[in-house]
Amino acid sequence: MTYQSNRGLRGLLAAAALAAAATMPLKAQAEETYNLALLSDFSGPYADIMPILAGGREAVFTWWNETRGKELGVTLNYKNYETRYDAAQVASLWPGIKSELDPIAVVGLGGPDVAALSERLPEDKIPMFMATAAYGFAWQPDAWIFNPRPTYSHESVGFLNWMREQRGGDEPLKVAILASEASPAYVDMAKGLELYAEEHPEEIDLVEVIYTEVQPTDLTGQMRRVVRAGAEALVIQTNTSIVVAAKRGLQANGANIPIMVSSHNGLPASGGALGGLEQMEGDFEAYGMAIAADEDTPARQFYKTLVADYGLEAPWNVVTAMGVSQGLYTVTVIDHAIEANGAEGLTGEMVREALFAKPITTEETHGFLPTLSFTPEAPFPLEGLKVNVGTVKDGKITIGATGVDVPQVEKW
């Protein structure tokens, strides 16, 4: 072997060593994996919407892993846990989830998750990110459970004030609410609106507060009370079965009072259960999240990306939007936490701190959510609250209004 060839070999080895050294940090980055626990209800009261919602949030995690995750050298693993929307089930599952996954965050579904874990998560130092609106009973400082939307009562109040403006005049809007004692969250929706109406009689006249079962036998009599009281709007933020029974009750009374529904029992779901969206003509859905209407919005464009490139199969509707927005603000907070602390050794506590440290802009959530500025005072942003309004016009969902201001609602 000549000197020349030895030098060539040494050069080759040196180049190989350099290349290996250059790739080592990348390799180490790609090894950072964090777990998310997803609480789901595939066999309980929300089993009908769960596959769609789950599809939305999982597609976002896939998208993040393949884009930002790759850049940062982080992979987010997730696992669904079946809770049947039952607080007892959530409570019994939690120790196992913690020991199996050691998650840096929980992606929750609804009221039972909040009821079961609100005392445990601060001790375990793991934040939970919800998709739904917030609950009055969980409106506490130093929260570990967060909602991207204000309470259901904030959302209904925002909508009702908008509706009063649309109607015109100085008279308060006559409103009825249909709730249920089947879930603490359902009661909470009514209590918040009741308090607001009591404190703002010039805006809302709450003429009827009706509690019923989750699958009512007949609401004809109750709807007659609503009609007799002269209600101009009927708020139903519970489930689709109650919307259907109320609609039939109103039809039996020959009345057509506009119904306002929320995201989880939105216009497509309630219309479908009634036999067609046209049955909900003139009714509304309102929430602090993008409306899944036909218009070409940034949110819809992002949805199309998820469908085209990341395997999302769910249709473009409010439930998918809910899942996508939940996924988006969850990964954005984790992204912020990685920016602040580095990719290694991320903990649930760091993720929570990142939530307060920096706002989640509407651009980061592709217009699915308004800019969210969380503070330790509440589990949801207290400033800049907005709701969007969707309605059914000519058998199609259209945007009624966007960025409707939510007035200040006192804690109840």
Partner 1 sequence: MVYFINDIITGALIGLLYSLVAMGFVVIYRASKVFNFAQGELVIIGGFIVWFTTMQAGLSLWLSIPLSLVLAGLVGYAIERIFLTKLIGESVFSMVMVTVGLLILLRGLVLLVFGPAVRPFPIIFPLKPLFLGDMLIPMNLLIGGIITIVAAVGLSWFFNRTRSGLRMTAVAEDHVVASSMGISVKGSIAVAWVLGAILSTIGAMIFLSGKSLTFLASDIGFAALPVALFAGLESIGGLILAGIIIGIAQSLTTNYLDPLIGGSLGSVVPYIIMLAILLIRPTGLFGWRTIERV
Give contact residues for partner 1 (rule: CB under 8 A). 42-43, 45, 47-48, 50-51, 180-181, 194, 208-215, 217-218, 220-222, 224-225, 240-241, 244-245, 248, 251-253, 269, 272-275
Choose between 210 and 354: whose C-beta lies nearer to partner 1: 210
Are 73 and 29 contacting, i.e. CB atoms less than 8 angstroms apart? yes
For partner 1, the closer of residues 249 and 381 by Cβ is 249
CA–CA distance, 317 with 370 (Å, rounded to integer): 18
Nearer to partner 1, 244 or 333 (CB): 244
251/402 with CB nearer partner 1: 251
Least distance (Å) from partner 1 to the CB of residue 295?
26
Which is nearer to partner 1, 190 or 333 (by Cβ)? 190
Q: Please, are residues 58 and 327 in contact by the beta-carbon 8 Å criterion?
A: yes
CB of 403: closest distance to partner 1 in angstroms? 31
Q: In whole angstroms, how close is the CB of 269 to partner 1 at the nearest point?
A: 7
Please enumerate in sequence order all residues whose Cβ is within 8 A of that of 412, keeping only pairs 6 or more positions apart, or say none: 136, 153, 191, 192, 195
The DSSP bridge partners found for residue 107 are 38, 129
Number of neighbouring beta carbons within 10 Å of residue 403: 10
Shortest CB 271 distance to partner 1, Å:
10
Q: Is residue 137 within 8 Å of 188, Cβ to Cβ?
A: yes
| Cβ-contact 271, 396 below 8 angstroms | no
Cβ pair 235, 178 in contact under 8 A: yes
Nearer to partner 1, 148 or 249 (CB): 249
Q: Residue-wise over 289-324: b if at least 16 C-beta within 10 A, else e?
A: bbbbbeeebebbebbeebbeebebebebbbbbbbbb
Least separation in angstroms between CB 190 and partner 1:
8
Residue 180 CB, nearest approach to partner 1 (Å): 7
